Amino acid sequence: MGDTFGSFTVRHAKSKNGGPLCCPATYVETIPPVFSGCPSNIVVNLPANACQTPVNWIEPTATDNCGDVVITSTHTPVMEFPLGTTSVTYTATDQYGNQATCSFDVIVKDVTPPTFNECPDDIRVVIQQGGCETSVTWTPPEAADNCTALITSDHQSGDTFPFGETIVTYTATDLAGNTTTCSFTVYVGNTNAPVVSGCPEDITVVADETLQAVVNWDEPIFTVSCGELMTTQSHHPGNTFSIGATRVVYQAESEDGKKTECSFLVTVTPRPATLNISKAVTPDGDGINDWWLIGNIEDYPQNIVTVFDRWGGVVYQASGYDNERIVWRGTNKSGALVPTGTYFYVLEIKGQSVKLTGSIEIVH
């Protein structure tokens, strides 16, 4: 069909047995070629030092039911592909113009985050003049990436920073969304130490009968020009102090480590001994001077009383003498009355430098 002989072209013919030689004149060949081996989508990672990469694959083939096929493509194996998704299309065309396509994606990913060349070290500055803030400058860091990186920051060199510490963060983001951060701290300090007012003078008080004293005072006040203060103290108003001298210490420390101290002495002195000691005991059971009376001894419960005979022998000893439960009735250690005569005593008050001595007459 289609051959030209002289002045005519064969358009239709019949075979010798009457059947069609090929096709009716109205027939048209519409069957497209068929691809085989069409690649699936290809995913590759960029190398760390490049923003495009060669990609290889096995090319597809195509056949047709009538004759040869011409194959064309938008890309060929080993071509360089950029970051992202690129569609690759093969087209097969037969001699009648019928076409078929084979398409797949080449997906190039970037898994390498940017890198900062030099991240600034922490910065320490001191406010030179009044106020609680100052401007701070530094050399902004630079970032490298196999493609392109965008750098953002929450602070810029030359910004004003408040007293204390502030973290500055730079972020580098590449086209694939990979990020790397660079952070450093800006410390803004102050040359002024805390100031104290109302530091108490030394305090002296007298102990009570327990040989202690509850002591109160107005606490000192600390202030600082910038930032917060951390205060400590060794004692609090209303604390109980024992006899002797105790140093009370208050200390305030600013955020940048400068300290101020306030201290004073609390001195607790013993109560003066105001004892009325009886000189005689008449243990005859008439209810008068039947035991040794030590007036006001109840104010000094922590006491030790010792009674000796004229030869130094101990005839009586007691702690916590109180004129009621614990008393000396003129008896010896065995409970028998001692003979009439003169006896000697030593009275000590614990915790105080008090030691009283004297004599007692026992009269029957």
Whether residue 23 has pLDDT greater than 80 = no
- pLDDT bracket for residue 14 (50, 70, 90): low
Whether residue 317 has pLDDT greater than 70 = yes
Nearest to 258 by CA among 233, 223, 221, 284: 223
For residues 344 and 310, the answer to whether their CB atoms sit within 8 Å is: yes
CATH number, domain with residue 31:
2.60.40
CATH number, domain with residue 281:
2.60.40.3580
For residues 362 and 341, the answer to whether their CB atoms sit within 8 Å is: yes
Residue 236 lies inside a defined structural domain of this protein: yes
- 48-57, 221-230, 304-313 — which is least confidently predicted? 221-230
Residue 161 to residue 204: CA distance in whole angstroms = 49
Residue 8 lies inside a defined structural domain of this protein: no
| Average model confidence (pLDDT) across the chain | 91
Shared domain for 138 and 183, answered yes or no, is: yes
**CA-based torsion, 211, 214, 218, 224: positive or negative:** positive
Whether residue 272 has pLDDT greater than 80 = no
Which residue is it, tokens 């419960």?
301
Per-residue model confidence as pLDDT tens digits over 160-190? 999 889 999 999 999 999 999 999 999 998 8
111 phi-psi bin (left φ>0, alpha ψ -120 to 50, beta other): alpha
Last residue of a domain, one of 109, 139, 169: 109
Whether residue 8 has pLDDT greater than 80 = no
pLDDT, position 24: 58
Strand partners, 341: 362
Shared domain for 149 and 77, answered yes or no, is: no
pLDDT, position 65: 87
Which residue is it, tokens 């990979």?
178
Query: Which residue segment(s) compose the domain that 157 sits in?
Result: 115-190
- pLDDT bracket for residue 11 (50, 70, 90): low
Residue 212 lies inside a defined structural domain of this protein: yes
Shared domain for 216 and 183, answered yes or no, is: no
In terms of Cβ atoms closer than 10 Å to its own Cβ (0-12, 13-18, 19+), residue 4 is: exposed
Residue 37 lies inside a defined structural domain of this protein: yes
Last residue of a domain, one of 65, 94, 109: 109
Per-residue model confidence as pLDDT tens digits over 99-149? 999 999 999 999 999 999 999 999 999 887 778 899 999 999 999 999 999
**Number of domains present in the structure of the chain:** 4
Q: Which residue has the higher pLDDT, 129 or 284?
A: 284
pLDDT, position 67: 82
pLDDT, position 19: 63
What is each CA distance from 219 to 199, 202, 207, 223, 264, in whole angstroms? Answer: 7, 13, 22, 13, 11
Shared domain for 253 and 290, answered yes or no, is: no
